[in-house]
């Protein structure tokens, strides 16, 4: 078997595995080499029973033009792979794991599966250990906030951060760190094309909108990020510190939901 064929098979089975587990894993893609004795692998013999040719040896980008979600997933994998190798700023020397982001994979709904990107500031200690965004206490609260407006990371939203490596002691990312990492977030936004962006917390708001205005002033307001409807609300860590912020955050989320319903109607 040729290396290219092995790559296609690997991508297919990895995608199936992500689907069944409910989460995307961003493990490093193995390097494949050609077998010494090349076995014939014709397109005809590799077609599934509906003739859709899932096992075709064509390059992924050519093969899957009708399968938008598959291509998004492949692109997100490529971005995650690049993040895992990145030494673009000083944060690489502190990380245990990179945290590229996390979203759904669902074979049953190919088109426009990710409605929303939720963007926070950067990984904390739990996220650094697990290589997944928003998995600590604040992350559990974020999941509850999102589920209250029918958003789920394993179904219809993608969660990412401004920086993909943990800033030491959970400090704010420095401008040079945010700038160095921005290309990955931009690539994710371009691949996903979300219908709306929800920024959580001051750092995400200020970085994305390039503003010095605080979250107190701008939360709950519909703005735009490069033509994409955008709203910021409080970071779940802030809600854990100050319960009085729960009510305004809830009002923000209700507004966000009703806007999203307009957008996906």
Can you give the binding site for ligand SF4, defined by CB under 6 A? 83, 86-89, 91-92, 98, 163-165, 177, 180-181
Q: Which is nearer to ligand SF4, 14 or 95 (CB)?
A: 95
Nearer of residues 63 and 177 to ligand SF4, judged by Cβ = 177
- Residue 99 or 253: which CB sits closer to ligand SF4? 99
- Give the length of the chain: 265
User: Among residues 83 and 141, whose Cβ is nearest to ligand SF4?
Assistant: 83
The residues near 70 (Cβ < 8 Å, ≥ 6 apart) are: 15, 60, 64, 110
To the nearest whole angstrom, how small is the minimum distance from the Cβ of residue 87 to ligand SF4? 6
Smallest distance, Å, CB 200 to ligand SF4? 18
Minimum Å gap between C-beta 173 and ligand SF4 is: 7
CA-based R_g, the chain, Å: 20
Look at residues 239, 236, 163, 244 and name the one whose alpha carbon lies nearest to residue 198.
Answer: 236
Nearest to 246 by CA among 236, 259, 258, 254: 236
Q: Give residue for tokens 């000083």.
A: 90
Name the residue nearer to ligand SF4 (CB basis): 98 or 199: 98
DSSP bridge pairs for 231: 198
**Closest-CA residue to 22 (of 185, 153, 134):** 153
* Alpha-carbon gap, residue 170 to 204, rounded angstroms: 14
CB of 216 to ligand SF4, least distance (A): 27
CB closer to ligand SF4, 156 vs 161:
161
Instruction: Give residue 21's Cα distance to chain centre.
Output: 16
| 135 neighbors 102 (Cβ within 8 angstroms) | no
Strand 223-225 with 228-233, pairing? antiparallel
Least distance from ligand SF4 to the Cβ atom of residue 43, Å: 38
When the beta carbons of 160 and 205 are compared against ligand SF4, the nearer one is 160
SS (H, E, C) 213-227: CCHHHHCCCCEEECC
Look at residues 182, 194, 199 and name the one whose alpha carbon lies nearest to residue 249: 199
Q: Please, what is the minimum distance in Å from the beta carbon of residue 169 to ligand SF4?
A: 15
The nearest distance, CB 186 to ligand SF4, in angstroms, is: 12
| CA 70/CA 30 separation, integer angstroms | 19
């Amino acid at each position: 078997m040729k290396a290219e064929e092995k790559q296609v098979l690997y991508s297919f089975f990895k995608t199936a595995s992500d689907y069944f587990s409910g989460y995307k894993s961003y493990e490093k893609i193995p390097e494949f080499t050609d077998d010494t004795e090349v076995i014939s692998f014709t397109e005809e013999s590799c077609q599934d029973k509906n003739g859709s040719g899932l096992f075709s040896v064509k390059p992924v980008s050519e093969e899957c033009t009708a399968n938008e979600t598959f291509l998004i997933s492949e692109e997100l994998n490529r971005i995650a792979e690049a993040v895992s190798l990145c030494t673009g700023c000083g944060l690489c020397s502190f990380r245990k794991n990179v945290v590229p982001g996390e979203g759904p994979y669902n074979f049953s709904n190919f088109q426009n599966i990710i409605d929303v990107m939720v963007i926070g500031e950067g990984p904390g200690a739990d996220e650094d250990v697990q290589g997944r965004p928003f998995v600590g206490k604040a992350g559990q609260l974020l999941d509850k906030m999102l589920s209250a407006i029918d958003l789920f990371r394993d179904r219809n939203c993608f969660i990412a951060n401004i920086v993909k490596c943990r800033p030491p002691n959970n400090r704010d990312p420095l401008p040079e760190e945010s700038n160095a990492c921005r290309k990955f977030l931009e690539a994710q936004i371009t691949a996903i094309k979300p219908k709306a962006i929800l920024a959580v917390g001051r750092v995400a708001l200020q970085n994305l909108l390039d503003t010095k205005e605080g979250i107190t002033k701008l939360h709950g307001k519909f703005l735009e990020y490069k033509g994409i409807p955008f709203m910021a609300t409080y970071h779940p860590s802030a809600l854990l510190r100050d319960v009085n912020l729960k009510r305004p955050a809830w009002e923000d989320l209700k507004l966000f939901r009703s806007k999203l319903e307009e957008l996906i109607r």
